[in-house]
Structure 1
Amino acid sequence: MSVKTIRGNLLFWKIAAVFCSLLIILGIAYVLIASKLSRSYYMMAHQELYGNVASHLASFTHPLKNGQPDTAVTHDIIHSIMVANPSVEVYLLDTTGKITDYVVPDKSVRQHHVDIATVKQWLVAGNGRRPLGNNPKDPSEASIFSAAPIYENGRLTGYVYAVLSSEKQRAILSTLNSDLSYHLGIYLFLCALLIAFIVGVITFFLITDSINRIAIVVRRFKEGDYTARIEGHAKGNLGMLTSTFNEMADVIVDNFDKISATDKFRQELIANISHDLRTPLSIMQGYVETMMIKKDSLAETERNKYLSVVLESTKKLSVLVEQLFQYAKLEANQVNPEKEPFLLNELASDILMAYQLKATERNIKLSLDAAAGLPPVFADIALTERVLQNLIDNAFKFTPDNGSITVQLKQRDTGVLVQVADTGIGIASEDQAYIFERYKQINNDKLPKKGMGIGLAIVKKILELHHASIQVVSEPGKGATFSFVLPSL
């Protein structure tokens, strides 16, 4: 037997047990209520059938003479009535409610007085709801009764008091109730089991049918059908399971897309690294091999030229590796900015001075336009220097010779606005959407592909660490301006 089958059977028996217990409880309650109502019904019926017994005795037998019981007449009649109907017990009362005569064993009568107020209330009740009266044999339990006044010469001399539910009647009712309860209990128990079984089977089928449909969808998803979703809008636990699976499937598919995109970026990175690192390495290898082959015939000037080419290639290789290492740390959130106050115009001046020789070689005008009285900014100096260097490097890359690059610093309410503007080829609007993404480069046939395309991605990551953002304004052929704001003290 499989685990699923065992779990299904357990679910079935749990459902069946719950319904069976519920129906058994309801059955017991029904038996108790039915027993009580049947007894009440019997007493009411008995009251209606024999409620005129006392009236007949008082009218036709004249049980009292001169206020005293006429034993010779009444005993035979009363005894005959009690033999014909053992549930009736007849007593004669005086006007105060005292029992003056009866035809029952004396030792069984425990009370010799009846509440006369109850008798009078019974007489005036007519056909309405009549009260219960005293039972001389069992004073602790009220009983249905029949009563009638006895008149002699127009004067009230006593009452006929007939108890309609005797000890024998209660014994018979108890036996009948026990038998009724026994049979009702058996029938209700069997019906409860049958109904619980039917309801359990139907419920189990409905639940397992929904679970099976869900399992089929899950199996399809597991086998690679990532469009599989559970249809319907069920409520309760199955509804929550349905929505949870669909949400989980959406998250998994979204993660797959992200992983695929990451893998694509990884492939692009490997391709870029392979290309960008291969070029300086090939140059270095070629010139070193040439120097080794021509070591005896190579002139001093040529050797120095070859060594300068090798040195330049090593510098380029170092820059590429350093950029890659920097971005990897930023991606892994391993860079914590050490913020401190400093003057941004002084940092920008030092950086531009380092680029002045490169600008002179290409006849590019490099200038700093800083407003007077700029407040100190609160940022990481090294990371801010990296941002400015990457933006200036990017400007040099896309600015042709005889152009210009300008760094502008302006005061704003929230800090210092930094703008790096160039007179380069500009950026098309469709390219501006992704120039800050990793490994992305502008495709332009006029310029050769340079670097790995992570310079601007590093800028964006560093500024995010400073809770700042970078914007670009550019048109093709009109240069580009990159701007951001660093917070001031």
Structure 2
Amino acid sequence: MQSYKIKGNLLFWKITGVFTVLLIVLGIVFVIIASHFSKTYYTDANQKLYGDIAGHLATVTQPFKNGKPDKAVTHDIIHSTMVANPSVEVYLLNPEGVIVDYVVPDTTVHMNKVDMDKVHAWLNGEGKRPLGDNPKQPDELSIFSVAPVYENGTLSGYVYAVLASTKQKEILKSLNGQFYLRLGSYSFFMALVVAFIVGVAIFYLMTNSISKVTATVKRFKEGDYSARIEEHDRGDLGMLSTTFNEMADVIVDNFDKITATDKYRQELIANISHDLRTPLSIIQGYIETLMIKMDNLSEADREKYLDIMHDKTKKLSVLVDQLFQYAKLEANLVKPEKEPFLLNELVSDILMAYKFKAEEKSITLQLEAPQKLPTVFADIALTERVFQNLLDNAMKFTPEGGSIVIKLKESKSHVKVEIVDTGIGIAAEEITHIFERHKQLGKDRIAKKGMGIGLAIVKKILELHQTNIDVSSKVGEGSVFWFDLPIGQMVEA
């Protein structure tokens, strides 16, 4: 729980840091943009307001006389103009752009000539009017106004007026600190408001989605296993929704499997109890009979009863052994030790062991196999158990005079095994259940011989060998069981 809290706080501080950086960046960007547009606005405004001042002075004052500056006429008028508008500095230029007169102290003028290309460009009105030289500040261009002066149709010079003087810049510089402070404060406040609105909207959407997720998880916790989170297209919530829904599907599937397994175990216990109860009841009944009527029974009857009890005890021992084997297979405790061997030799030995039992029931046992059958790759002991269980099952349901044939056939990569009997057969509706230990088959079949768990063990063993067993049968005609085992050389290759 503490780790979740730390992660939650970390997420909070990450979001807080992102918003803080966003506010600072927005404030700086806003100040830069506002400053730029403020300067541009001021420049354009000066250009519009005082752009014709040079033309006015050139027309009204007649600053040149016989090609020379007329200081007596112009200084007073130009000085008055600069007093009325301190942002204007006026210069007189000759036709080549050399400064021939001005109304500023000589020590503050650092240029004696201006760039005439810019003057001509300004006069031609080519697009936006350019910035020109500022004689007081050679390294800085300024907005200006210019007008030619003619005498008797001859160009005498130019009136050149700088519209943004040094004094004006000093005043603006002193005001810039306060301006930027106020602008930064307002922009920061606006950015804060915008960020707050955006943050509230984002947090609302996040908390709303998280609330829905929480409600769905709570429903699932309280037993509504159909509850699922509405899918999101992308992002962490989308991954969370998908992960939870997949986890819920797995949990529900596991619940179903657990329920089915529990039902299976109940049926298995009931069937095992029935299988164990029958021979135990018979044994118990004969023991009680011997105890009660011991003195009244003949020697032949006593031997008969003892033979019956011995036979039932053997069957009970076999059943217990099968149950033990099946339990180990179910728990995956059996690991096959595979090796190549000749399957026809193993089957021959098994049939020899069943020969006496088959003769007692007049059942014919037969092996059909090619002379040069390749080796198979399997566990010898488990394979022997498969044949024993299949033969026990065939012997159990094959009447006297019947036959059981084991056929071995070679295919491309496997040896196919078929066990064919002429027994009572299996009904079509029961074939799919004969390998399931917890399923009960038809009453007539069970009443006749009983099924045991031999076929269930066969299926489990063959699954360990990555193969399956199949069956086909007709009632009254017999059954055919078949499966494949891999060829030894193929596996080695």
User: How high is the TM-score relative to the length of structure 1?
Assistant: 0.88
Inter-partner Cα distance in structure 1 for 2:311 and 2:31: 104
Report the counterpart of residue 113 of structure 1 in structure 2.
113
Q: 1:76-475, aligned counterparts within 5 Å?
A: 76-125=76-125, 128-175=127-174, 177-231=176-230, 235-284=234-283, 304-448=303-447, 453-475=452-474
Q: Secondary structure at the match of 2:456?
A: helix
Q: 1:358-390 CA distances to partner (integer Å, 9 max, x unpaired)?
A: 223333333323344333333222111111111
Check the 8 A contact 2:389/2:458 in 1, yes or no: yes
Q: 1:235 to 1:484 in 2, by over 3 A?
A: same
Inter-partner Cα distance in structure 2 for 1:8 and 1:373: 73
Read off the aligned partner of 1:73 and give its amino acid letter. Answer: V
The answer for unaligned runs of 5 or more in structure 1 is none
Once the two structures are overlaid, the 10-residue window that deviates more, 13-22 or 327-336, is 13-22
Check the 8 A contact 1:16/1:199 in 2, yes or no: no
Inter-partner Cα distance in structure 2 for 1:40 and 1:10: 45
Q: 1:32-59 CA distances to partner (integer Å, 9 max, x unpaired)?
A: 1122112112212212221222222222
Inter-partner Cα distance in structure 1 for 2:190 and 2:481: 84
Q: 1:203 to 1:13 in 2, by over 3 A?
A: farther
Once the two structures are overlaid, the 10-residue window that deviates more, 16-25 or 273-282, is 16-25
Inter-partner Cα distance in structure 1 for 2:297 and 2:279: 22
Once the two structures are overlaid, the 10-residue window that deviates more, 434-443 or 389-398, is 434-443
Once the two structures are overlaid, the 10-residue window that deviates more, 299-308 or 318-327, is 299-308
Report the counterpart of residue 55 of structure 1 in structure 2.
55
Once the two structures are overlaid, the 10-residue window that deviates more, 241-250 or 271-280, is 271-280
Inter-partner Cα distance in structure 2 for 1:358 and 1:276: 23
Alpha-carbon shift at residue 6 of structure 1 (Å) = 11
User: How high is the TM-score relative to the length of structure 2?
Assistant: 0.88
Read off the aligned partner of 1:49 and give its amino acid letter. Answer: L
Once the two structures are overlaid, the 10-residue window that deviates more, 422-431 or 178-187, is 178-187
Once the two structures are overlaid, the 10-residue window that deviates more, 470-479 or 195-204, is 195-204
Read off the aligned partner of 2:338 and give its amino acid letter. Answer: K
Alpha-carbon shift at residue 298 of structure 1 (Å) = 7.7
Q: 1:2-21, aligned counterparts within 5 Å?
A: 18-19=18-19, 21=21
Alpha-carbon shift at residue 138 of structure 1 (Å) = 1.0
Check the 8 A contact 2:472/2:479 in 1, yes or no: yes
Check the 8 A contact 2:275/2:452 in 1, yes or no: no
Check the 8 A contact 2:229/2:245 in 1, yes or no: yes
Once the two structures are overlaid, the 10-residue window that deviates more, 175-184 or 161-170, is 175-184
The answer for unaligned runs of 5 or more in structure 2 is none
Q: 1:445 to 1:292 in 2, by over 3 A?
A: closer
Read off the aligned partner of 1:97 and give its amino acid letter. Answer: G
Inter-partner Cα distance in structure 1 for 2:390 and 2:3: 64
Alpha-carbon shift at residue 80 of structure 1 (Å) = 0.4
Report the counterpart of residue 70 of structure 1 in structure 2.
70
Q: 1:238-265 CA distances to partner (integer Å, 9 max, x unpaired)?
A: 2332232222222111111111111122
Q: 1:370 to 1:6 in 2, by over 3 A?
A: closer
Read off the aligned partner of 2:161 and give its amino acid letter. Answer: A
Inter-partner Cα distance in structure 1 for 2:426 and 2:150: 128
Check the 8 A contact 2:26/2:191 in 1, yes or no: no
Does 2:16 match 1:33?
A: no
Q: Secondary structure at the match of 1:72?
A: helix
Check the 8 A contact 1:16/1:197 in 2, yes or no: no
Q: 1:190-223 CA distances to partner (integer Å, 9 max, x unpaired)?
A: 2332333333233322222222222222212212
Read off the aligned partner of 2:355 and give its amino acid letter. Answer: Q
Check the 8 A contact 2:131/2:141 in 1, yes or no: yes
Overall identity of the aligned pairs, in %? 65
